[in-house]
Amino acid sequence: MNTTILTNSFPVNDLGEIKQKVLDWIQKFDTFCFLDNHQYHIEPHTQECLAGAGARRKISANAGNALDQLQEFIDGGKSWFFGHLGYDLKNETGWLTSGHTDKIGFPDLFFFEPEIIIRLNDKEMIIEADEPAEIFDAIVSLPVGKRRRPTTPLCIQSRIQKEEYLSIVRELQKHILRGDCYEINFCQEFYAEPAIVDPITIYKNLTEISPNPFSALYRIKNKWLICASPERFLKKQGSKILSQPIKGTSERVMKDKRKDELSREALLHSGKDRSENVMIVDLVRNDLAKICKEGTVVVDELYGVYSFPQVHQMISTISGELKKGISFSEIIRSTFPMGSMTGAPKKKVMELVEQYEKTKRGIFSGALGYISPGDDFDFNVVIRSIMCNISSSYLSIQAGSGITYYSDPEKEWEECLLKAGAMKKVISE
């Protein structure tokens, strides 16, 4: 990329305002990716905010030989790349098929080399572009508190009604009892149609009430992902790779500190949630062992409980040292889809997902992130998200939970509603 790099400082108190201005400025591009850490600094932390806009080169592919195409694209020149891995890449990595409806229409894989890269840290903006000074001036000169266009409240419908959901969970528990699987992440869709929305406004409103460390606003022409994810899928830094799966959720009680702490403690000591978490930790260890040097895969943290605006979450960290010369596509083939969004054993539960879920997951429970010019990368898990297709006026929210033999179907239903709550609130009020 033949660009100039410009670094400019701004007052530390202006970080939130600068982010809003960057968002307002990049929305004119039909392809962009805006990644926001919301000052969580979950280790290992790289930068507060990273955005890529405009496409010098791009690749769009569906499962078949998509990862081979992506590797060829990456090998075509060292640069920044932004993009996503859709859940249905499982059809390539796991030799599976999908037949459900997908009304959003993200490709299974899309990456682009941006024309403009903007990085924000606590008090500086770094711009890589052909004319970075002009871009900086254009961003900072945008008016403060730009009026947001209203979003008309939408009527949210459930793809699966409660009684059917409870029945499906009981059927899944029969599969577990027969030994077909140990745990399965079962998801359901909430949707609105027609949905006339402004994605920028929705993102700003969602991250006001639910700012999470792996949030993102992502656009490919008429398709938008509005994401408030708390979960990291996979990060590579030098020769080290790590994954931070989430399994275990409890509600925040923001108006009562004692009840909120009791909710957190209940999650920390929950036998069911610990069982779910350790199953996924073992799955991730096995995935990483395929691509890491022997004896280097370790569990850095087990059963860590972290608090976010809407929920407490149980997070574990697993890391290892990569084998020399291993490629990005090899890493993804060995680890994707992430265990926290499938269950164990991975291939069997993905077959059950296809059997019992009603719609394609698409970009949901996939991964969004970036690859740096030095071949490091960081990808989230696409959860706590709103997906919309502006052309077809269709909006989708998906939410799921981990089903085990000991799950209470009613509580699993309530967990899905809890996880979808923030998204439903910003589009239905």
Measured in degrees and rounded to the nearest 5, phi and psi for residue 99 equal -130, 5
Tell me if 98 sits within 8 A of 354, measured CB to CB. Answer: yes
In whole angstroms, what is the distance from residue 197 CA to residue 400 CA?
24
Taking Cα atoms as reference points, which of 9, 8, 3, 22 lies closest to residue 131? 3
Selection from 259, 180, 252 nearest residue 209 by Cα: 252
Alpha carbons 52 and 143: distance in angstroms, whole number: 22
The letter for the amino acid at 427 is I
| CA dist., res. 173 & res. 272, Å (int) | 14
What's the CA gap between 346 and 339, in Å, rounded? 7
Residues with catalytic roles: 231, 247
What lies within 8 Å, CB to CB, of 314 at 6+ separation is 246, 247, 248, 249, 267, 268, 273, 274, 277, 303, 304, 305
Between CA 14 and CA 146 the distance in angstroms is 15
Distances in Å between the Cα of 263 and the Cα atoms of 231, 255, 257, 267 are: 20, 13, 10, 6
Cα 74 to chain center, whole Å? 21
Residue 126: exposed, middle, or buried by beta-carbon count in 10 A (0-12, 13-18, 19+)? middle
Q: Are 395 and 372 spatial neighbours (Cβ–Cβ below 8 Å)? A: no
Q: How many CB atoms lie within 10 A of CB 71?
A: 15
Q: Are strands 124-129 and 109-120 parallel, antiparallel or unpaired?
A: antiparallel
**Whole-angstrom distance, CA of residue 233 vs CA of residue 154:** 31
d(CA 49, CA 37) in angstroms, rounded, equals 6
Furthest-apart CA pair in the chain: how many Å? 64
All residues at 6 or more sequence positions from 174 whose CB lies less than 8 Å from its CB, including other chains: none
- Rounded to the nearest 5 degrees, what angle is found at the Cα of 329, between the Cα atoms of 234 and 238? 50
168 CB-side CA count, 13 A: 23
